[in-house]
Chains A and B, each alone.
Chain A
């Protein structure tokens, strides 16, 4: 055992320790964010927060009920646009994987997935707000829907690909046409996985703020009309975070706690569901 060997073996160990240190450093912010959310957010959570409208500026009290309802409405609008397009696109990619159009679609979906969300806001502004001449829930839904599409496309593709070839062949052998095989056999078989992918996609857009700033715009009151400006939870968190009032800061933390709990729950559930599906195979 010579000196060179010791040096090399210790270098190896030092580098291993260094990568572990990196892992610790990277995960620290996650725990810090969660810890501060719990500490500050929990104390501001009460029934009023979930049932009341925002209070007048600077006065303590009030809640984010309209913002939560707004987020649900925006998600529904986004889902109406993003889910059909996304699922059908994903099925196409899985069933005709090597066509020219499939390569192009896959590439476009990936690039779209990496496009800044604020650009989608500008897109929805030009597409919906300019012709209507005012901000609206519909515009926000379009912005979020466009962000949802690529996520749903890629997860659907992955899941539908997992459906065994024999299932398709069995259906076709019974004389069922291709379109009916896709709609009645493939999609139901892959449904659980597709739904999981959609849930993760919805959780992602539920926290999007930038594309809503000049589409949904925000609203201090209840609104059920898709053609009027509407409140959203992330918008409200942003507005309260940059406000000068302590009570609004507390409510921003509470809103963030609600949002993050939702997002993490969906992600953890999806993870669990995915693992069970893998085990079943």
Chain B
């Protein structure tokens, strides 16, 4: 803290926690989207979709509170022993069970971004013309084969857009991550170790930063974050827009 400010641990923590969140949230979110758009009966579709929306409406500080007092203890006492016991030979899952750390942050981020993946993916899949499905079914394809060969390829770029949108959310999510990631500036191979992210360091240090250079360094980190999230968002909009146009031309 003698007038030197490096951002590497924060950049690393932001990228890894977001990647971890996507690894968990993308398969789950796609599963829910396929269920909602292709399989669920009408009476189930609306309430389930609404519940997923409610998940997005829960404030992040509440997820953080739940993360500190429920999720982190669970990770410490149940998940970490399981992971070190079975996959402990990997450097990813070594170290003492702290509860707080990269893994817990990734889990809570996954919970928070999954509604965005579900909402956008469901929307683009519903936009796929019914004729596509009927053609596949008429050729003797099963429900799953229809989804895989007629719906998913058509919606692919929109689903990519949904993932980008979720990525932007994960990169910038502040409170819940700050509360469970441990806030230690270090780069450790293990997902069980505490880490730090750019939004978290801004949240923790900004109000107390007195040195001009300190304030400037934090705002610089914020500007970098803004640039990245804007680019990711633009990519997401372009990808989702492509599906909308393809559907408009196809019909």
Residue numbers of A with Cβ under 8 A of B are 8-9, 11-12, 15-16, 18-23, 25-27, 29-30, 32-33, 36-37, 40, 107, 110-111, 114-119, 122, 125-126, 135, 203-204, 206-210, 213-214, 217, 234, 237-238, 241-242, 249, 252-253, 256, 259-260, 263-264, 267, 271
Contacts and interface: CB of A to CB of B under 8 A. Distances in A.
A111 B52 contact: no
Contacts of A271: 50
B234 A26 contact: no
Interface of B: 27-32, 34-36, 39, 48, 50-55, 57-66, 68-70, 111, 114, 118, 142-145, 147, 165, 168-169, 171-175, 179, 199, 202-203, 206-207, 219, 222, 225-226, 229-230, 232-234, 236-237
Nearest to A266: B57
B144 A12 contact: yes
A127 to B, nearest CB: 13
Nearest to B53: A267
Given A26-B28, A30-B51, A253 B65 contact: yes
Contacts of B142: 8-9, 11-12
A19 B236 CA distance: 24
Contacts of A267: 53-54, 57
B70 A19 contact: no
B206 A22 contact: no
> Chain B contact residues: over half helix, strand or loop, or mixed?
helix
Contacts of B53: 267
A253 B32 CA distance: 30
Given A115-B226, A207-B62, 6 more contacts: A19-B35, A22-B27, A27-B55, A118-B202, A253-B65, A259-B59
A114 B165 contact: yes
B54 A238 contact: no
Nearest to A25: B28
Instruction: Please give me the 9 A-B residue pairs with the lowest Cβ-Cβ distance, nearest first.
Output: A116-B172, A207-B59, A22-B31, A12-B142, A19-B35, A210-B174, A12-B144, A114-B233, A15-B144
A97 to B, nearest CB: 14
Contacts of B65: 237, 241, 252-253, 256
Nearest to A106: B237
B54 A118 contact: no
Contact of B61 (A16, A18, A209): A209
A254 to B, nearest CB: 11
Most buried by A among B27, B51, B169: B51
B28 A122 contact: no
A18 B60 contact: no
B168 to A, nearest CB: 5
Contacts of A259: 59, 61-62
A260 B65 CA distance: 12
B203 A210 contact: yes
